Amino acid sequence: MDKIKKNEMCQISSKKNIINNNILVIGANSQIGSAIIKNQLNGYYNVFGTTRHNDRTDEHTFFFDLAEPEFNLDFSKYDCIIICAGITNIAQCESNQQACEEINSTNTIALIKKCVDSNCFVIFLSSCAVFDGSKQFYKHTDPTNPNTFYGISKQKVENYIQSLNTNAACILRLTKVISESSRFIQNWKSAADNKDEIIAFSNIFISPIDIKDVLDAIQILVQRKTTGVFQLGGNEEISFFEYAKKTYISNPKILSKVVETFAIDPNIPKYNSLVTYLPYQKNSYSFEGSDLIISSLLRNVFRGNYIDVGANHPIILNNTNYFYQNGWSGLAIDGNDEFKNLWKNNRPRDIFISELVTDRIRNVEFSIYPDRTLSTMDSTSVKRYEERFLQNEIIKKQVTTTTLDYLKNHYFNEQEIHLLSIDIEGEDLNCLIGANLRRWQPGVIVIETKHMSLYNISHNEIVNYLTTFGYRLIAKTPLDAFFIYPQKQYLQWVPNSIIS
């Protein structure tokens, strides 16, 4: 249970209004589905299920066969649909690829479409099999590369969900789930009861997670309804053989029956571990937690684009690294080209360019100060910073500036920019002027406004300038101000009462 934060569970259980939420589990007879039904997600939801067995239906369990779906259920009655059904046996998928394709991919995608069209939030349970298992502890941002037909079928559904222009579905990848109904656990128990040998592979590894942790993770996703790719994995990678020895270490008689063997099937991935990533795990890289404020505003955007002006270090005190770690990418701009290799090594999906951005093309003197985290072309900032350093410590260059409008056209053409972050020591307003915001509108703009008063924002030049283009101030930290463009579809969740 240490995988899920206990205080998160307390927060969820205290929300009395969720008692009326209806949840539908597709595949109520599966290992995870049956556990959800039995647990009722800790009793805070009305949980219903489906079965492909006509003789197992009742007032809370309805007939639905993913092999031949009729889609006659009224999905609109449910706030959330959890998809647990499918063929999970890798060998079975390899031997009957057509059935695997129809059930695990084609019909599952059709089901998700029906659910999304009915305004349900969908949680699709995926697998570590979307990776080829050639390394340990895959991150949720790693590219998928399955080498089994089962993994390919899961990947197809993941790709479909990620292509949706909606916030109505998420993916939860799991490693080996351990419960009393786990097939290999039952096989071992049966062998032990019959005093037979317990055959366990030493060259195939698992990253075991307890079914209780899976239920807690699903409850978090149900409560938050956050779109994206999430993962839950064990905190170790261990062979079946070592796991069997750990399981029966307190019972020497059974332990003596554990026999080491080797798998020879080349299609079975060697490693099966994932780095756990769930919605509550939010690590800020910004100076004042600005990236977490932005992530709340852009909660409906999946793998968006950003432009980071005055990008500086790719990780430390950076407003866009949080989004890069969540699969985003974009353009990083900084006048100091010493950061180029750092960006190349740490954030290879991004484009880093060494440019100075202002309101027009002109020649300026650019000053870089000793610790390399400070640099500016603004004359007022130069006077302030030069008092702190010796002249021989300051690097000065003659540079020709460019505009943000030009860079947007050159690198993104007509692509949407969801986030624009600006921190360029005194030239922030000029950067906006050169952006040509009548032509394109980033969804969120975060910009340094350290001297802005919350009690008299009408005197702030940046507020006045952005307001003329339809932007609205939505939040403020001591250093940064956050603006949104309310007309964006992905920002229409923001109540009008806050910004009107």
The mean per-residue pLDDT over the stretch 1-20 comes to 39
Look at residue 75 and tell me whether its pLDDT is greater than 90: yes
CATH of the domain at 450: 3.40.50.150
- 222 lies in some domain: yes
Look at residue 13 and tell me whether its pLDDT is greater than 50: no
- 430 lies in some domain: yes
The mean per-residue pLDDT over the stretch 355-371 comes to 76
* Amino acid making up residue 66: L
- 190 lies in some domain: no
| CA atoms 326, 327, 333, 339: torsion sign | positive
Q: Are 451 and 318 in a shared domain?
A: yes
Beta carbons of 368 and 336 less than 8 angstroms apart: yes
> Which positions ≥6 away from 163 have C-beta within 8 Å?
none
CATH of the domain at 212: 3.40.50.720
Dist CA 271 CA 316 (whole Å): 32
Q: Are 230 and 326 in a shared domain?
A: no
Identify the CA nearest to 366 among candidates 311, 358, 431.
Answer: 358
Dist CA 186 CA 181 (whole Å): 6
Dist CA 388 CA 384 (whole Å): 8
Identify the CA nearest to 268 among candidates 113, 111, 94.
Answer: 94
Q: Are 218 and 324 in a shared domain?
A: no
pLDDT digit string, tens, across residues 281-330: 677 899 899 999 999 999 878 778 999 999 988 988 899 999 998 879 99
Q: How many domains does the chain have?
A: 2
Indicate the DSSP class of residue 54.
G
pLDDT digit string, tens, across residues 35-72: 999 888 766 688 999 999 988 899 899 999 999 999 99
Dist CA 420 CA 449 (whole Å): 15
For residue 28, the model assigns a pLDDT of 93
Q: Are 224 and 324 in a shared domain?
A: no
Dist CA 406 CA 412 (whole Å): 10
Mean pLDDT rounded to a whole number for the chain = 85
The mean per-residue pLDDT over the stretch 183-204 comes to 77
Q: Are 303 and 217 in a shared domain?
A: no
Q: Which of 219, 234, 249 is the last residue of a domain?
A: 234
Look at residue 383 and tell me whether its pLDDT is greater than 70: no
Q: Are 221 and 310 in a shared domain?
A: no
Look at residue 18 and tell me whether its pLDDT is greater than 50: no
- 311 lies in some domain: yes
Identify the CA nearest to 198 among candidates 246, 235, 265.
Answer: 246
In which band, very low, low, confident or very high, does the pLDDT at 144 lie, cut at 50, 70 and 90?
very high
- 150 lies in some domain: yes
Indicate the DSSP class of residue 37.
H
- Phi, psi of 340, deg, nearest 5: -55, -50
What proportion of the chain, given as a percentage, has pLDDT over 70? 88
- 186 lies in some domain: no
* Amino acid making up residue 152: I
- 47 lies in some domain: yes
* Amino acid making up residue 498: I
pTM for the full predicted model: 0.56
Q: Residue 150 is part of which domain span?
A: 6-177+208-234
Q: Are 155 and 300 in a shared domain?
A: no
In which band, very low, low, confident or very high, does the pLDDT at 9 lie, cut at 50, 70 and 90?
very low
Decide: helix, strand or coil at residue 347.
coil
Dist CA 122 CA 24 (whole Å): 10
For residue 1, the model assigns a pLDDT of 38
- 254 lies in some domain: no
Q: Are 26 and 170 in a shared domain?
A: yes
